[in-house]
Amino acid sequence: MRENTAQSSALPVAPTRGRLRPLGLDEVRITGGFWARCRHINATATLGHCRDWMERVGWTGNFRAAAEGRIHRDRRGREFADSEHYKLLEAMAWEAGGGTPLDADIAALTDVIAPAQEPDGYLNTAFGRPGQQPRYSDLEWGHELYCHGFLIQAGVAQARSRGEGELAKIARRAADHVCATFGPGGIEAVCGHPEIESALVELARLTGEQRYLDQAALFVERRGHGTLADIEFGRAYYQDDLPVRDATVLRGHAVRALYLAAGAVDVAVETGDDALLAAVVRQWEAAVARRTYLTGGMGSHHRDESFGDDFVLPPDRAYSETCAGVASVMLSWRLLLATGEPRFADLAERTLFNVVATSPSEDGRSFFYANTLHRRRRGTVPAANVDSPRAESSLRAPWFAVSCCPTNVARTLAVLPAYLATADDHGIQLHQYADAEITTSLAGGHGVALRVGTDYPSGGSVTVRIGRSPDHPWTLSLRVPAWTEGATAWLVDPDGERRAVAPGTASVTRVFRPGDEIRLDLPMAPRWIGADPRIDATRGTAAVQRGPLVYCAESVDLPDGHDVDAVRVDPSAEPEDGPDDTVVVPGEVAPPGEPGDAAWPYRPLGHVAAPAARHTGIVLVPYHSWANRGPSTMRVWLPTTEADSTGTGR
Amino acid sequence: MRENTAQSSALPVAPTRGRLRPLGLDEVRITGGFWARCRHINATATLGHCRDWMERVGWTGNFRAAAEGRIHRDRRGREFADSEHYKLLEAMAWEAGGGTPLDADIAALTDVIAPAQEPDGYLNTAFGRPGQQPRYSDLEWGHELYCHGFLIQAGVAQARSRGEGELAKIARRAADHVCATFGPGGIEAVCGHPEIESALVELARLTGEQRYLDQAALFVERRGHGTLADIEFGRAYYQDDLPVRDATVLRGHAVRALYLAAGAVDVAVETGDDALLAAVVRQWEAAVARRTYLTGGMGSHHRDESFGDDFVLPPDRAYSETCAGVASVMLSWRLLLATGEPRFADLAERTLFNVVATSPSEDGRSFFYANTLHRRRRGTVPAANVDSPRAESSLRAPWFAVSCCPTNVARTLAVLPAYLATADDHGIQLHQYADAEITTSLAGGHGVALRVGTDYPSGGSVTVRIGRSPDHPWTLSLRVPAWTEGATAWLVDPDGERRAVAPGTASVTRVFRPGDEIRLDLPMAPRWIGADPRIDATRGTAAVQRGPLVYCAESVDLPDGHDVDAVRVDPSAEPEDGPDDTVVVPGEVAPPGEPGDAAWPYRPLGHVAAPAARHTGIVLVPYHSWANRGPSTMRVWLPTTEADSTGTGR
């Protein structure tokens, strides 16, 4: 790996080494299109929404109660409620420009939190004060290091985005406490929920202090040796079953597994531990090949929010927690920076469009916690003023008793511009496509400015216009998404030369002139997708993908009030573009029967008549947009007429 | 409904009214065959195994600690650990003959329990003593009434099987306490886990005391009005979302739902509340039509052990808790007695052979808690001396931290003879088939003796030989199982006349003579079964049933160390009988690929080559017998070669 010489301080993730150098939020701006809309809603609605809800449900008051000595009787919310404030502060820090109202919001919230920090740096409103459980008495479930981790991340975000202020100081005191308490000679254990690892590495990167990195490395090495209790879900739940470097696949609680993997990459990169990095890559590969939904979603179990066995990916009740999507993007981004391999950007794109973008509603004030791929029953509208159960609604809910997802979406959208592009000694790499302005310097301090124009993912044409460029050759690289496999993408260089490019990376190396344009044309025709037959529940079905977007049938688009279980599609004919980013597929809409139509749902083969049906065009919508039009049923994987007509597919 | 005039006191369930009159354990004896073997193992191994484990893990010691005033620091096990003793005592009471060693065991265990009962009749080692939570302070999760319910059931069993002794007196004091505490003017609430309802009705039946029945009816009526907290799983988890008489389908935690339904039937029958009975029948119908596995198993969610939405029945991680199977048999039996309809005996048979009989190992010393229909990974051997997690093992475990299932299986096998036959004014009805001797009296006190000979479910021939009979005509009825649909069953009367009989009931009415034989010939050829297409995960698969037994492929029977996911079957050819109750089906065994063979398991349609395969005969074994030969993989629903060859089934 090469050493990074960062040119920006505004880096959400700032490895000192790696194949690619990240660009800061002062180097990349998203100026329009899909992600600009998402980010606008995030900044103008979601941030304030989260702040208001936490005040309303009393979680913010916990800090005041702690400072005033009445927390033992007044505490509200779950043991990790503090952390939502830190994630929100992180989002605000990245989002705020100098002197905007958000700066005042950050200061005000920091003023609430600061008095709750204890003299030795410990900060948690759920433990340690008179009348509460002792500190670190429940490492399995207490989330104290998890909360400290997000506090540190918020402090790092503040320091990097606007210079070290009060929040960064609080964070640093907390990190010092963590090192003093869990370092050599201290408590020899880990937290039931990984997160502290990445946070400490980022703090080491920010401050240059080795001890934070050492502590993070220690936490990574300690895990997998059974320091946590063997709970009913097994120690795999919190990855304490196997050392990180020995595991072959992501397993257990999906968010825990992915945060840990991200932290392990951070440690591996900073310490030059190639074996550790290779172990995480191996786990990522196995999880992507066998434990990931078409949407990029990870984690299929509701019970323990965990990865299932290989190929246990039923669309029914797919869990696919929003936070696992966030964590997967964090991991993929770190692996991309470390290795430069576009497959990591491929998964990040899939996950951003189909999990992260799916969670918030169009108004940014309600969220999916779980992202099922098949909703069979029109649910009820979640309570407007009460926490919702995290995983049971058919519609997005404004807040949850366990509300990790809204603030996690907020901080992801806040840093999204940083995921678009990187640099290295040879030039600039574009990984994600959006209308954007990119300004940075190449090796030797030569300034470069690019403008990206596209209506991706509606359209597949991406134009990069050179604004400023040194007068020596350099390389512009563009990711050709893996989803183009089997179709053809084209690259047009500044001379108008057009060549077919394969999935991976397409590059142009030359002396660029201001005004030069490079264009990538991606094949955006909607396509039928099939699944590995080992995924039982998708046998005899097909899904539709158009560009990076997964599509779904939603009952509001079906005639005669039918539910989605009435849909049968005919994948022998191609799907076609419909208006407004919809796709129309050939098929039938006919009820397979009404509830209660058979006394027993199993029959000797050959005894069930196929239902009457009529051919029609069935409208599909992007998965991320579903459930914005009231209670509905939805499915991504659509049974085929072919499967219906076989003897066993009935 | 008619009034029952019970002729036996040894009745596990003793309704005073109903279409059919149950026979007591002194009237029906199982003399050989499948169930005799299961019952022998239960009596000689399982009962002692449960007793030993509860002593070893300290649950029995809780009663001693309570009596000695040290329970607040010494208690072991979950809050419902007391109840396992009561279920075991119930099993022992029904199993023990007069003067056997089991009688001494019952007395000894009763002597441990008795001193823990408080002066007012309350008996629970988890609540109410100094240093413990107050009585009834956690009705949602405390299980106090649930434990009292099983205590009462044990007392009823003792009284009915051997005359009222100490255990019955303890039970009655507990019931008096419950009525005093939760009756009119008392706590207006219900228990988070139904069970007390049936128990109080049985005590009313035993004692003739109306107040027990009134209290049971009160509990049934109170439920569904939100007296319990709205937990994350929702109030449907403990059926407190809707009044019993308003609900249209079984929902929430499966065991809770089924115990409640059984108790509601008991109340309905005793109070003549036909509307309540009809409500439960309606719920049973909906659950059987849309929320039941092929095995009869109920409850598909791991997270909350609950029924899923209609048709959410993926074989992967099917939960199908053993106790839900037990509870389903309890409910079906009550509905059969109330209505006389053979469909209830059909489900009981399916559930007994494929859930209840599946749970215990061949040696009766380990158990399945959950009964999945698809096991993908060879697991590890559960710990021999430590509680196992309830739902994660691939093999049966000797004991669980939540160990409701072993004792529930024990008490079900102990009363199994009572499920074989009933009587009414017109004669005798046979519902389940086993080698058995039946002796009872018809209306007017006319003695009847029958001997049933069969090797069911290996063979399909059931011969009923008349031993004693009055010299006037009466009716012998035999259930023709619903699983014979589409094949032909034959009834041969004492004159040798043979006629085809349809699913339902086949009867012979005549003056029977000693030595007369009636024979039912059931079609036992193995058959392919398909599922409603709304059950996603069984599309493109077929299962095999032979008589009442569901079959499965198990990896130990496959060549070359293949796992079951390598199996494809060809349902265009018929399955055939193999040796030792196996079935052989035509198909292919070829790996669909090795783990890691594709980087991403989804592909544009038409790009995946079918794996090489060779046709062979694949051996299937009865589902109840799987996992008795070491760690293995298993599946009930087998993908078809036909589905593989279609464009979308790959």
Q: pLDDT band at residue B446, thresholds of 50, 70 and 90?
A: very high
CATH level 3 topology of A421-521: Immunoglobulin-like (2.60.40)
Whole-number Cα distances in Å, B606 to A645, B395, B597, B603, B609: 19, 39, 17, 8, 8
Shortest CA distance to A91 belongs to which of A132, A35, A54, A50? A50
Dist CA B160 CA B93 (whole Å): 9
- From chain A, pick out residues whose CB is under 8 angstroms from the CB of B312: 316-317, 376
Please say whether the beta carbons of B638 and B587 come within 8 A: yes
A280-289, A345-354, A371-380, B637-646: range with lowest mean pLDDT: B637-646
Per-chain mean pLDDT for chain A: 93
| Contacting B residues, span 374-393, partner chain A, CB-CB under 8 Å | 374, 376-377, 389-390, 392
**Does residue B579 sit at the A interface (CB-CB below 8 Å)?**
no
pLDDT digits (tens, 9 = 90+) for A453-479: 999 999 999 999 999 999 999 999 999
Q: Which residue of B has its CA nearest to A649?
A: B540
Give the per-residue pLDDT at A650. 31
| Contacting B residues, span 280-309, partner chain A, CB-CB under 8 Å | 285-286, 288-290, 292, 294, 301-303, 308-309
- From chain A, pick out residues whose CB is under 8 angstroms from the CB of B647: 530, 571-572, 642
Give the pLDDT mean for A329-340.
98
Angle made by CA atoms A502, A505, A511, in degrees to the nearest 5: 120
Give the burial class of A184: count Cβ atoms within 10 A of its Cβ; 0-12 exposed, 13-18 middle, 19 or more buried.
exposed
Residue B400 has pLDDT above 50, yes or no: yes
Tell me the nearest-neighbour CA distance from B103 into chain A, angstroms. 36
pLDDT digits (tens, 9 = 90+) for A43-61: 999 999 999 999 999 999 9
Dist CA B457 CA B400 (whole Å): 31
CB contact under 8 A, B534 and A377: no
pLDDT digits (tens, 9 = 90+) for A101-147: 888 999 999 999 999 999 999 999 999 999 999 999 999 999 999 99
Shortest CA distance to A199 belongs to which of A150, A142, A143, A144? A150
- From chain B, pick out residues whose CB is under 8 angstroms from the CB of A527: 604-605
**Does residue B615 sit at the A interface (CB-CB below 8 Å)?**
no
Chain center to CA of A558: 31
Please, which residues have CB within 8 angstroms of residue B629's CB and are 6 or more apart in sequence? Answer: B554, B556
Q: By percentage, how much of chain B surpasses pLDDT 90?
A: 85
Residue B549 has pLDDT above 80, yes or no: yes
pLDDT digits (tens, 9 = 90+) for B410-434: 999 999 999 999 999 999 999 999 9
Q: Which residue of A has its CA nearest to B231?
A: A389
Tell me the nearest-neighbour CA distance from A391 into chain B, angstroms. 9
Per-chain mean pLDDT for chain B: 93
CB contact under 8 A, B376 and A310: yes
Tell me the nearest-neighbour CA distance from B391 into chain A, angstroms. 9
Dist CA B552 CA B558 (whole Å): 12
- From chain B, pick out residues whose CB is under 8 angstroms from the CB of A573: none
Q: Is A540 helix (H, G, I), strand (E, B) or coil?
A: coil
| Contacting B residues, span 545-574, partner chain A, CB-CB under 8 Å | 565, 571-572
Residue B155 has pLDDT above 50, yes or no: yes
Considering only CB atoms, B316 lies closest to which of A286, A314, A603, namely A314
A232-241, A391-400, B113-122, B417-426: range with lowest mean pLDDT: A391-400
A305-319, A510-524, A581-595, B315-329: range with lowest mean pLDDT: A581-595
ipTM over 0.90: no
Shortest CA distance to B568 belongs to which of B510, B501, B640, B633? B640
Residue B208 has pLDDT above 80, yes or no: yes
Residue A592 has pLDDT above 80, yes or no: no
Give the per-residue pLDDT at A641. 83
Shortest CA distance to A356 belongs to which of A383, A332, A340, A388? A332
Residue A150 has pLDDT above 70, yes or no: yes
CB contact under 8 A, B650 and A540: no
User: Any idea of the CA torsion for A627, A630, A633, A637, to the nearest 10 degrees?
Assistant: -20
Give the per-residue pLDDT at A491. 98
**Does residue B56 sit at the A interface (CB-CB below 8 Å)?**
no
- From chain B, pick out residues whose CB is under 8 angstroms from the CB of A390: 232
Give the per-residue pLDDT at A594. 60
Please say whether the beta carbons of B241 and B229 come within 8 A: no
Q: pLDDT band at residue B606, thresholds of 50, 70 and 90?
A: low
Q: pLDDT band at residue B351, thresholds of 50, 70 and 90?
A: very high
Residue A401 has pLDDT above 70, yes or no: yes
Q: Which residue of A has its CA nearest to B536?
A: A537
Give the per-residue pLDDT at A593. 63
Q: What is the value of pTM for the model shown?
A: 0.91
Q: pLDDT band at residue B27, thresholds of 50, 70 and 90?
A: very high
User: Long-range CB contacts (< 8 A, 24+ apart) of B608-616?
Assistant: B608/A530, B608/B650, B610/B644, B610/B645, B610/B650, B613/B568, B613/B588, B613/B589, B613/B641, B614/B588, B614/B589, B614/B590, B615/B570, B615/B586, B615/B587, B615/B588, B616/B559, B616/B586, B616/B587, B616/B588, B616/B589
pLDDT digits (tens, 9 = 90+) for B243-263: 999 999 999 999 999 999 999
| Phi, psi dihedral angles at B223 (to 5 degrees) | -70, 145
Give one DSSP letter per residue of B111-148, joined into a string. HHHGGGS-TTS---SSBSSTTSBPTTS-TTT--HHHHH
Considering only CB atoms, B529 lies closest to which of A389, A529, A604, namely A604
Please say whether the beta carbons of B431 and B479 come within 8 A: yes
Terminal Cα-to-Cα distance of chain A (whole angstroms): 55
| Phi, psi dihedral angles at A563 (to 5 degrees) | -95, 165
CB contact under 8 A, B592 and A533: yes
Chain center to CA of B259: 11
Dist CA A81 CA A125 (whole Å): 9
CB contact under 8 A, A598 and B532: yes
Give the pLDDT mean for A238-248.
97
- From chain A, pick out residues whose CB is under 8 angstroms from the CB of B571: 605, 647-648
Considering only CB atoms, B539 lies closest to which of A343, A647, A649, namely A649
Give the per-residue pLDDT at A649. 35
Q: pLDDT band at residue A607, thresholds of 50, 70 and 90?
A: very low
Please say whether the beta carbons of A279 and A261 come within 8 A: no
Q: Is A413 helix (H, G, I), strand (E, B) or coil?
A: helix
Give the per-residue pLDDT at A385. 80
Give the per-residue pLDDT at B560. 85
Give the per-residue pLDDT at A605. 79
Q: pLDDT band at residue B97, thresholds of 50, 70 and 90?
A: low
Residue A280 has pLDDT above 70, yes or no: yes
Give the per-residue pLDDT at A610. 52
Report the helix count and the strand count for chain A, using DSSP H and E.
Answer: 16, 25
Please, which residues have CB within 8 angstroms of residue A237's CB and are 6 or more apart in sequence? Answer: A231, A252, A253, A256, A304, A306
Q: Which residue of A has its CA nearest to B570?
A: A648
Q: pLDDT band at residue B387, thresholds of 50, 70 and 90?
A: confident
Please say whether the beta carbons of A179 and A211 come within 8 A: yes
Strand positions, DSSP E, A515-582: 517-521, 527-531, 541-546, 549-554, 567-569, 576-577
Q: Is A338 helix (H, G, I), strand (E, B) or coil?
A: helix
Interface test with B, best of A304, A351, A539 (most B CBs within 10 A): A539
A265-269, A417-421, A617-621, B432-436: range with lowest mean pLDDT: A617-621
CB contact under 8 A, B598 and A532: yes
CB contact under 8 A, A595 and B642: no
Domain ranges of chain A: 421-521, 527-645
Interface test with B, best of A344, A544, A574, A648 (most B CBs within 10 A): A648
Which pairing describes strands A474-480 and A427-430: parallel, antiparallel, or unpaired? parallel
Please say whether the beta carbons of A570 and A640 come within 8 A: yes
Residue B591 has pLDDT above 60, yes or no: yes
Residue A532 has pLDDT above 80, yes or no: yes
Residue A480 has pLDDT above 50, yes or no: yes
pLDDT digits (tens, 9 = 90+) for A415-444: 999 999 999 999 999 999 999 999 999 988
| Phi, psi dihedral angles at B529 (to 5 degrees) | -120, 135
Give the pLDDT mean for B300-305.
93
CATH level 3 topology of B33-419: Glycosyltransferase (1.50.10)
